[in-house]
Structure 1
Amino acid sequence: MASRVLSTCLITPPTKFTHAPPVKFSNKASWFRSKNGRIKCGAVGDSSQPVYNGVYGPWTVESSDVREVILYRSGLVTAASSFVFAASYAFLPSDSQLSEIIKQNLDLLYTLGAGGLGLSLFLIHIYVTEIKRTLQAFWALGAIGSLATCTNLAQPAGENLIQYVVDNPIAVWFVGPLFAALTGLVFKEGLCYGKLEAGILTFIIPTVLLGHLTGLMDDGVKLTLLASWMTLFVIFAGRKFTQPIKDDIGDKSVFMFNSLPDDEKKALIKKLEQQ
């Protein structure tokens, strides 16, 4: 699976086109614009937006692309902020007013964080559709498992979801898929953009969950790793806003190509090979 993700980050076209020679596009070349699921051609020479040469043709960043990227990054900020507020409960004095406020809102913070992550996974740009759908499926399983655990186990026991998972490590099986989706997202970000904090998070997240599930990790180690998770998550979410918008879009021509019917794909490949 890692090799497939790597190929997406290198913007490699589908296998059936890898033998074709590189295609060069001039400023007068035609570019693809998505509308109603179809792709049309239009001149780029008069466009005020920068034109990027993709595998299947030139493309530009449109206002809809900017909105999607901002929402994607906002979802990550929401997830990171909610997680940090919720996790800070483990480090605060139990008799403090702030600790009591956080405790009363742990389920709300968990819901906001899960929602922010879900938004980001819905908007994330990954060339291999199967990988994107797998991450979304993990999120859905984790969301359902979290809801079922909260309503059927935690609430009858008079606890919030997070406290119940802390007291009952077996419950990691129910909420774990949601964090597996988060792990996949940061793995993708670390691999594609070389983000150190994302790469470290890829190991910290499953280590904390598995350590709690198996009982092989003492509380001191868990708290240390949890603090590292909180810090790196904030850095990761914040640094997303330092990247150019086009980075989170990727090669837009690949997504446009994938949305074409098979016959149009073949016609476009043939045209590019001739060029």
Structure 2
Amino acid sequence: MASRVLSPTLMTHVPKLTNSRLKFSTNHRIPSFSSTTIKCKAVGDSRQSSLGQTIYNGVYGPWTVESSDVREVILYRSGLVTAAASFVIGASPAFLPGDSWLSEIIKQNLDLLYVIGGGGLGLSLFLIHIYVTEIKRTLQALWVVGVIGSFATYATLALPAGEDLVQYVVSNPAAVWFVGPLFASLTGLVFKEGLCYGKLEAAVLTFIIPSLLLGHLSGLMDDGVKLTLLATWMALFVIFAGRKFTQPIKDDIGDKSIFMFNSLPEDKQKAFIEKLEQQNLNLEREFD
């Protein structure tokens, strides 16, 4: 699915499709405009332009993959890789000998890994392509609340106790209340990926992440179960982030025409739909 809306130049030409290279094909049938009918991946057929570009037929008209789109998708995926790598490295001492030099080095840098991983997640949430803006903003808000909660927990609780943030949360389950929103935003992201692309690892992560955090918070989960869930989380997170680079760029962009349409003022959206419906009606009359 896709990120921020299209470039201002492209958006400016939306109401004047007859004069732009995004001219609407008259064989494009207008579907129901309910958001429940929108798919996550790029929709419709594709064709090659005279310039060799692939043109995709979206819900609201043709669109192409620009270089800026490619950069955003790569940054989005890189943010996920950064978050996954930081998490796996930071969690690995749970499975390493306690007195090993590697375990000691990682433990001394847990807060740094937490910041790097949280930053990578924030980058991905900033660039994530979601058709419903309110959902995207909610995930971003959860991330912000989680960052604030993490900083407050470190400054007011962990630091005075002489511990880093991660160790403090492990030792004090109630601190999950403060850092939890950050992981809730991650859960929302993997849920979206699992729902859109049918990825099993993302679907499983949707349940493992909150289960482990809630189990730790409630104190109802023993250490053996926690370690099992943590190991599963680590493995699936690596698979999830790595497999993002096996997807076509267009799939992470989604249907670009929807973002173009959503960026328009309400009155222009209405006029745009009326124009498309009129084109569709004229086409039907030609074949009657």
Scaled by the length of structure 2, the TM-score of the pair is 0.83
Query: Match for 1:70: what amino acid?
Result: I
Aligned pairs for 1:159-178 (under 5 A) are 159-178=163-182
Residues 1:222 and 2:248 aligned together: no
Structure 1 unaligned spans of 5+:
1-8, 12-32
Find the partner of 2:11 among 38, 63, 83: 38
Q: Could you tell me how far 1:151 is from its partner in structure 2?
A: 1.1
Query: Match for 2:113: what amino acid?
Result: L
Q: Could you tell me how far 1:152 is from its partner in structure 2?
A: 1.0
Aligned Cα RMSD in Å?
A: 1.6
Greater mean alpha carbon deviation, residues 144-153 or residues 258-267:
258-267
Aligned pairs for 1:35-74 (under 5 A) are 35-36=8-9, 38-40=11-13, 41=17, 42-43=20-21, 45-74=49-78
Residues 1:77 and 2:81 aligned together: yes
Are the equivalent residues in 2 in contact too, given 1:39–1:260 (CA < 8 A)? no
Q: Could you tell me how far 1:264 is from its partner in structure 2?
A: 1.7
Secondary structure of the 1:274 match is helix
Find the partner of 1:211 among 212, 215, 221: 215
Q: Could you tell me how far 1:195 is from its partner in structure 2?
A: 0.2
Partner of 2:276: 272
Query: Match for 1:116: what amino acid?
Result: G
Aligned pairs for 1:1-275 (under 5 A) are 34-36=7-9, 38-40=11-13, 41=17, 42-43=20-21, 45-275=49-279
Secondary structure of the 1:146 match is helix
Secondary structure of the 1:48 match is coil
Identity %: 78
Kindly provide the CA deviation profile for residues 86-143 of structure 1, in whole angstroms up to 9, marking residues without a partner as x.
0001111111000110011000000000000000000000000000000001000000
Secondary structure of the 2:12 match is strand
Q: Could you tell me how far 1:76 is from its partner in structure 2?
A: 0.1
Kindly provide the CA deviation profile for residues 51-107 of structure 1, in whole angstroms up to 9, marking residues without a partner as x.
000010000000000000000000000000000000001111111000110011000
Q: Distance in 1 between matches of 2:182 and 2:263?
A: 28
Q: Distance in 2 between matches of 1:116 and 1:128?
A: 22
Query: Match for 2:57: what amino acid?
Result: N
Q: Could you tell me how far 1:193 is from its partner in structure 2?
A: 0.1
Q: Distance in 2 between matches of 1:169 and 1:83?
A: 18
Q: Could you tell me how far 1:247 is from its partner in structure 2?
A: 0.4
Q: Distance in 2 between matches of 1:170 and 1:269?
A: 51
Query: Match for 2:234: what amino acid?
Result: M
Secondary structure of the 1:38 match is helix
Scaled by the length of structure 1, the TM-score of the pair is 0.87
Q: Distance in 2 between matches of 1:59 and 1:125?
A: 15
Greater mean alpha carbon deviation, residues 255-264 or residues 75-84:
255-264
Are the equivalent residues in 2 in contact too, given 1:149–1:161 (CA < 8 A)? yes
Query: Match for 2:124: what amino acid?
Result: S
Residue correspondences, number: 246
**Larger RCO (CA within 8 A; separation ≥ 6):** 2
Q: Distance in 2 between matches of 1:225 and 1:195?
A: 19
Are the equivalent residues in 2 in contact too, given 1:39–1:256 (CA < 8 A)? no
Q: Could you tell me how far 1:46 is from its partner in structure 2?
A: 2.9
Are the equivalent residues in 2 in contact too, given 1:72–1:119 (CA < 8 A)? yes
